[in-house]
Structure 1
């Protein structure tokens, strides 16, 4: 992400209106906006394949899958991010046009430039979403998948998978 220089902080609604007029996508955190940078082709391939598999799995079940161009808001006040892949099955998001507020699954494909942010600050933001059931981090270069899930005490546990582990379908 690249910070976008602005003389003053933006209010959430101001950001939402401003960003609609921009040629690039921007994330919003505490009044500041950050340009969203593009990923490398292998990371995009992972996101496309995962999106296709999730779309097939959710067909007829009321779930909605979105990719990196879909904005997700932690709350009406922000922050606002663009996850690699997200799923919402919440009826409140069914008619959403610009922002998804109630995702149940968020997936990020890690890159060296975003890994620390995805594991740290972004995950702290995502943990505030009460509908979120799973936060998945994919490390393509290491063939590792980390699946963070809240337990009954809303502490996040981490089952992880690496190598060519056999994963059962739902």
Structure 2
């Protein structure tokens, strides 16, 4: 006979207290805490490429770029993620350990995270009123897709080809990204 196991919902305060002292980062999804896996060199390079381009255009502006270690609070504090890259342009979004109102999020897909990034995180992220762009970049092959919101028209999606440019406008920030920008120095060649 199997035994039922009790399950304890982890509160926001408990999660933040545990995460502050944890040796490994964890995401909180509807009260359940999950350890985060490490990433490959290519995953890190793509993340850094995106963050570099965002940081370059945020100098002297209200928008701020964050990479990998900044938490994103969603679902009234029952869910926290660590997006690979995030852009926040709301000056009121000033909590020192998490953000609530990004206008741009990028996730780099790996075999272990692709399904979560494509389904679970996309569902959570699109509920954020501030979000205008959700960029997915595959670390294993040349492939990127962006979901973008046009005011009053809903969400659209586009796979990026080598000829495409992603124009990002958040607050007073304007940025254009190409596949070359995303995959620079990764060993994946754009033909």
TM-score of the two chains, using structure 1 as the length reference: 0.88
Q: 1:96: Cα distance to partner?
A: 2.4
- Give yes or no for contact 2:12–2:78 (8 Å, CA) kept in 1: yes
1:81 matched residue in structure 2: 81
- Give yes or no for contact 2:72–2:81 (8 Å, CA) kept in 1: yes
Alignment map for 1:143-162 (pairs within 5 Å): 143-153=142-152, 155-162=154-161
Deviations 1:18-55 (A, max 9, x none): 21121111100111000011110011011111111111
- Give yes or no for contact 1:105–1:135 (8 Å, CA) kept in 2: yes
In 2: Cα distance, 1:39 partner to 1:146 partner: 20
Instruction: Choose 1 or 2 for highest CA Rg.
Output: 2
Is residue 72 of structure 2 the alignment partner of residue 63 of structure 1? no
- Give yes or no for contact 1:29–1:79 (8 Å, CA) kept in 2: yes
Is residue 30 of structure 2 the alignment partner of residue 27 of structure 1? no
Aligned residues: 164
Q: 1:75: Cα distance to partner?
A: 4.3
Structure number with the bigger relative contact order (C-alpha 8 A, sep ≥ 6) is 2
In 2: Cα distance, 1:166 partner to 1:160 partner: 9
1:66–1:117 distance in 2 versus 1, CA, 3 Å: same
In 2: Cα distance, 1:88 partner to 1:121 partner: 21
Q: 1:62: Cα distance to partner?
A: 1.2
Q: 1:113: Cα distance to partner?
A: 0.8
Matched residue SS, 1:61:
coil
- Give yes or no for contact 1:133–1:150 (8 Å, CA) kept in 2: yes
More strand by share: 2
Structure 2: which 5+ residue stretches go unaligned?
1-5, 168-174, 177-191
2:163 matched residue in structure 1: 165
1:57–1:14 distance in 2 versus 1, CA, 3 Å: same
Structure 1: which 5+ residue stretches go unaligned?
1-5
Deviations 1:64-106 (A, max 9, x none): 111111111114423100001000011112x321101111100
- Give yes or no for contact 1:75–1:101 (8 Å, CA) kept in 2: no
Q: 1:153: Cα distance to partner?
A: 4.5
1:130–1:154 distance in 2 versus 1, CA, 3 Å: farther
- Give yes or no for contact 2:138–2:144 (8 Å, CA) kept in 1: yes
